[in-house]
Amino acid sequence: MREDIVEALKNIVGDDWVVNNPEAVKSYLEDETEPGVKVEPAPATDVVVVKPVNAQEVSEILKLANREGVPVYVRGGGTGLACGCVPSKPGVVISMERMKEIEIDKENLMAVVGAGVTLGELLKAAAKEGFFFPPHPGDEGAQIGGLIACNAVGARAVRTGPMRNYVLGLEVVLPTGEILRLGGRLVKDNTGAGKLMHLFIGTEGILGVITKAVLRLSPQYKATATMVVPFNDRRACLNTVPEILQSGIIPLGIEYVQKKEVELTAKRLGLEWPSKEGEYYLLIMLAEFNEDTLYAQLEEIASICRKNGSLEPLLAETPEEQTNILKIRSEIYPTLKPYMEDSPDITVPPANIGKLIEELEKLERKYDIYIPLFGHAADGNLHPVIPVKEGWTKEQYEKLRMEMYQIAVKLGGVTTGEHGVGEARKKYLKLNLSNEAIETLRKIKKVLETTPSH
């Protein structure tokens, strides 16, 4: 990286917060993307990492990069699964790790948080004040800025939906360096600012750098439980999900997992999977404000499951048991990673999940492979794993990946429900969006990149 650019960055943030020695930069060149879809060729190494502490510093960095025509990569927790924060060309990595402000606003049931606060840090700070934050993508090292940029979802989204539903205000720095403050500690905002704010949620940082957010919190639930429901029949297991929702009970989460993967994961973690029966499981997470409601819901769900052929449901009531089940669920991905080429994030209308399973089973037979499967059953969002198969070429993996994507689209779905597009999956965007839609996004990006408003 040019010495004058490194010096200019030091002038903005201070000498201690600019890193360009190759060893120290290494950990900023990767994220958690599956091996088979990582940025190719390898990430750029001619990279300087800069660590601003506020929006003003981000603004100065972006103005500099714009002036010098240097690419910028925004890095949150680096837990992304689409190489979104990985530098594909020599440039500047803006790491948000120093933006750690957390204010829990008890009266308003909100939190004001810096973009670099991790999910784990927010959960802890909220719990200390008697609050809860439902969204839970598996890795608590993800940062608030990254969660908003990716509109992350996770295992507890059935009742309340993705990150977007929790964002009430945003501070964003545009590529031209202007700082926007949109929304705020407001439950309602119909001024237009609130709507503009949503442009920056889920667009993976391509339209601006998120530096601060106002988030909605939930009061801590007084009664929680996780029910593990075993089935021997896969379709019966998944077909039970719409029936639970139609009953009027909306759990925090309904996850789908399988025996092979949960047992492998539990073993790796030194934990025990609670159920000895069945091959396929629903994990149903419930949270209510009193025990009577909770138990009534548990009974009703258990009876729907039994009617659909489940084996005896198991109940995890203590916080430790519930945490261990969520931990096993969250750690399936890292456990399988050494054996996987890819793990597509396909999503179909929830009612089509049975058809999706049938198509995936056809692929297993066609390619003579076992496809580990897990995911967010009530959201129609599954992660079928493409396993490493000895002797297979890149082309063979690509053929299978494309077939999975085409199946999802044919069933009315998309290639990604959560993990996003990033650098790794840009080439599949056309399967989901028309040329006109992609061009519209490009035009919006161009306007924000090139037109300072004063």
Ligand X SMILES: Cc1cc2nc3c(=O)[nH]c(=O)nc-3n(C[C@H](O)[C@H](O)[C@H](O)COP(=O)(O)OP(=O)(O)OC[C@H]3O[C@@H](n4cnc5c(N)ncnc54)[C@H](O)[C@@H]3O)c2cc1C
Residues that bind ligand X (CB under 6 A): 31-32, 74-81, 84-85, 96, 115, 137-139, 142-143, 145-147, 149-150, 152-154, 204-205, 209-210, 333-334, 418-419, 422
Q: Are strands 110-114 and 209-216 parallel, antiparallel or unpaired?
A: antiparallel
Least Cβ distance, residue 67 to ligand X (angstroms): 20
Least Cβ distance, residue 82 to ligand X (angstroms): 7
- Residue (139 or 359) nearer to ligand X, CB: 139
- Residue (372 or 422) nearer to ligand X, CB: 422
- Residue (170 or 305) nearer to ligand X, CB: 170
Least Cβ distance, residue 300 to ligand X (angstroms): 27
Burial class (CB in 10 A: 0-12, 13-18, 19+), 45: exposed
Least Cβ distance, residue 139 to ligand X (angstroms): 4
- Residue (163 or 301) nearer to ligand X, CB: 163
Question: E strands along 108-175, which residues?
Answer: 110-114, 131-132, 167-173
> What type of residue sits at position 407?
I
- Residue (278 or 413) nearer to ligand X, CB: 413
Q: Which residue has the tokens 């456990």?
A: 335
Bond into 41 cis (ω within 30): yes
- Residue (62 or 64) nearer to ligand X, CB: 62
Least Cβ distance, residue 171 to ligand X (angstroms): 10
Length of the chain: 454
Q: Could you tell me the two tokens for 288?
A: 């209510």
Round to whole Å and give the CA distance between 415 and 436.
Answer: 18
Nearest residue relative to ligand X (C-beta): 146
Least Cβ distance, residue 280 to ligand X (angstroms): 19
Least Cβ distance, residue 58 to ligand X (angstroms): 9
Least Cβ distance, residue 303 to ligand X (angstroms): 29
- Residue (60 or 139) nearer to ligand X, CB: 139
Cβ neighbours of residue 34 under 8 Å, at least 6 residues apart?
81, 337, 340, 341, 342, 343
Give the CA count within 13 Å in the CB-facing half-sphere of 364.
12
Q: Could you tell me the two tokens for 66?
A: 């714009």
- Residue (47 or 209) nearer to ligand X, CB: 209
Least Cβ distance, residue 121 to ligand X (angstroms): 12
Residue 156 main-chain phi, psi, to 5 deg: -115, 45
Question: Which residues are bridge partners to 288 per DSSP?
Answer: 223
Round to whole Å and give the CA distance between 172 and 208.
Answer: 6
Q: Could you tell me the two tokens for 419?
A: 């993990």
- Residue (224 or 381) nearer to ligand X, CB: 381
Q: 426-429 contacts: CB < 8 A, separation 24 or more?
A: none
> Most distant CA pair in the chain: distance in Å?
70
Q: How many CB atoms lie within 10 A of CB 389?
A: 14
